[in-house]
Structure 1
């Protein structure tokens, strides 16, 4: 696997993780931003959003590393018999 392919896999998996973090935050924040007869809960933006984005990005980056390692180990030449 070439370096460009490895870089592309890493970038795409990190972006997928970032998207997953946004999706998780959106599901968790539903109904918490504007509660009934209360003011907005700003912790949703100040704490939950950065944590979900960082966690999703980290998970995507780790998935990219694992995927790259699996693909390079799979295509490695078997050791010669000697």
Structure 2
């Protein structure tokens, strides 16, 4: 696998992790933004959104590093006949 392909896969894993974090935030934020007869809960945007984005990006980056190491170890150790 070439360097460009590895770089593209790394970027895609981080984007997938960020998208996953956004999905988790969206599922958790349903009904918390505007509660019945209460004002908006701004913690959903100020705390939860950055934590979910950051955690998703971190999970994606760690997944990309793990994938890279697994592929590199597999390529470096050819099976003997």
Does the TM-score normalized on the shorter chain lie above 0.5?
yes
CA deviations 1:27-79 (Å, max 9, x no partner) are: 0101000001101000100000000000000000000000011011111144x
Structure 1 runs of 4+ with >3 Å offset: none
**Aligned length in residues:** 80
Where does structure 2 lack aligned partners over 5 or more consecutive residues?
Answer: none
What is the aligned-residue RMSD (CA, Å)? 1.6
Q: TM-score, normalised by structure 2?
A: 0.92
Matched residues in 1 for 2:65 and 2:71: separation? 10
Structure 1's unaligned 5+ residue stretches are none
Matches within 5 A, 1:1-82: 1-78=1-78
TM-score (norm 1): 0.91
